[in-house]
Amino acid sequence: MRLLVTGAAGFIGSNFVHYWLEQHPDHHVVAYDLLTYAGNRENLAGTEDRAPFVQGDIADLELAEQTIREQGVDVVVNFAAESHNSLAVVDPGLFARTNVLGTQLLLEASRQTGVAHFHHVSTCEVYGDLALDSDESFSEESPYRPRTPYNASKASADHYVRAYHETYELPITITNCSNNYGPFQFPEKVIPLFVTNALDEKPLPMYASTQNRREWLHVRDHCRAIELVLHSDRVGETYNVGSGLERSIGEIADLVVELTGKSADLKQIVPDRPGHDRRYLLDSSKIERDLGWRPEIGFDEGLRETVAWYSENRAWWEPLKARLQVEETAWR
């Protein structure tokens, strides 16, 4: 395969580039990223000789099309997105531009160049949220009910991906994943924010709804799922990718405090973010049944390894803390 990986300098994209080169050393990978505040070339260290880097915007139709043609790309894997719900509250237009218009223009570049497979990485949040006392989960047939500007932008992108398949017969697949965690995650997201704050003995800002829950998936298990989708011949399919492992924000804070050996006094209640979803849980039985995927990394093991990674890579995350776009304690 000859892959174009967009959002390649971000959290999941960079992990995917490393994973793909490990598993498929004979494949050609092009790393494509705009390098916004959350993009970091250091995430791709060690891949430069095998994965040429192109600094570019997925909303730049001319550059995307040129890159696909010049690099002989036959598979596009689209991770590129603005993904921080808190930032979407204060700058929703940015999310519409990147996640909606950017995805449409990348689809158009892929259509014009005749790529063989366009894979789009989406989120569980397009489905809305679930009650905390519910035993429900989201299937691939669940209706889309996004509640925040970020969720709405990803839902819109999903619709464009499917429309390009139906209208232009572009070969596409979509994965909707649960919350990811692991190395190289920008420290605006809750787990790296808690870990890095704890290591510096700074407060862990917990939204007032401390029992709101998320389903947690290690990024490497996510990469394995995408790999299976790319190697399948099931064009036009959507797959939910989740671990089934739920933890509340309060539980995450307790585990981080325990794993870092810091005081529980660091936990701090702050006002809820507007549109704060209560709970997500995916039914991942389709990808398990069709492609044989199952998560391999347990949450306790994965979180322990993640905390150790941040502890050992202070030089990576310390400069990034200055780039944080939103003050999580300031909601009113």
Chain segment 123-182, per-residue pLDDT in tens: 999 999 999 988 899 999 999 999 999 999 999 999 999 999 999 999 999 999 999 999
Question: Interhelix angle for 190-199 vs 249-260, to 10°?
Answer: 30
If DSSP codes are grouped into helix, strand and coil, which group holds residue 72?
A: coil
329: pLDDT strictly greater than 80: no
In this structure, what token pair is assigned to residue 99? 């996640």
What is the per-residue pLDDT for 273? 80
Mean pLDDT over 309-323 rounds to: 96
Determine the Cα–Cα distance for residues 222 and 294; give it in Å rounded to an integer: 10
195-229 per-position pLDDT tens digit: 999 999 999 999 888 888 999 999 999 999 999 99
Spatial contact of 46 and 19, defined as CB atoms under 8 Å apart:
no
How large is the C-alpha radius of gyration of the chain? 19
Mean pLDDT over 67-92 rounds to: 95
Q: Which pairing describes strands 75-78 and 179-181: parallel, antiparallel, or unpaired?
A: unpaired
Determine the Cα–Cα distance for residues 302 and 182; give it in Å rounded to an integer: 7
Residues 6+ apart with CB under 8 A from 126: 144, 146, 151, 154, 155, 158, 176
- Counting DSSP H helices and E strands in the chain, the numbers are 12, 12
Mean pLDDT over 98-118 rounds to: 98
Write out the H or E segment, with its range, that includes residue 213: strand 213-218
**Which amino acid, residue 15?**
N
Mean pLDDT over 83-112 rounds to: 95
What is the per-residue pLDDT for 18? 98
Determine the Cα–Cα distance for residues 105 and 119; give it in Å rounded to an integer: 14
Per-residue CA distances from 279 to 148, 213, 298 (Å)? 14, 5, 20
Residues 6+ apart with CB under 8 A from 69: 113
266: pLDDT strictly greater than 80: yes
Per-residue CA distances from 18 to 12, 36, 86, 128, 191 (Å)? 10, 20, 28, 32, 21
Determine the Cα–Cα distance for residues 234 and 172; give it in Å rounded to an integer: 9
Predicted confidence band of residue 299 (pLDDT cuts 50, 70, 90): very high
Pick 182-214+245-279+299-321's CATH classification: 3.40.50.720, 3.90.25.10, 3.20.20.450, 3.40.50.20. Answer: 3.90.25.10
Mean pLDDT over 306-326 rounds to: 95
pTM equals 0.96
Predicted confidence band of residue 277 (pLDDT cuts 50, 70, 90): confident
Determine the Cα–Cα distance for residues 76 and 217; give it in Å rounded to an integer: 23
Specify the length of the chain in residues: 332
Residue percentage of the chain with pLDDT more than 70: 99
What is the per-residue pLDDT for 332? 60
Which among 138, 216, 192 has a CA at the least distance from the CA of 307? 192
Predicted confidence band of residue 272 (pLDDT cuts 50, 70, 90): confident
Mean pLDDT over 51-61 rounds to: 98
* CATH class assigned to 2-180+217-241: alpha beta
Residue indicated by tokens 């991770």: 79
Asked whether this chain's domains 2-180+217-241 and 182-214+245-279+299-321 adopt the same fold, the reply is no
278-296 per-position pLDDT tens digit: 999 999 999 999 999 999 9
What is the per-residue pLDDT for 87? 92
In DSSP terms, which residues pair with 177 in a beta bridge?
123, 241
Determine the Cα–Cα distance for residues 264 and 250; give it in Å rounded to an integer: 11
**Which amino acid, residue 93?**
G
In this structure, what token pair is assigned to residue 269? 């209640």
Domain boundaries along the sequence of the chain? 2-180+217-241, 182-214+245-279+299-321
What is the per-residue pLDDT for 331? 64
Average pLDDT, the chain: 96
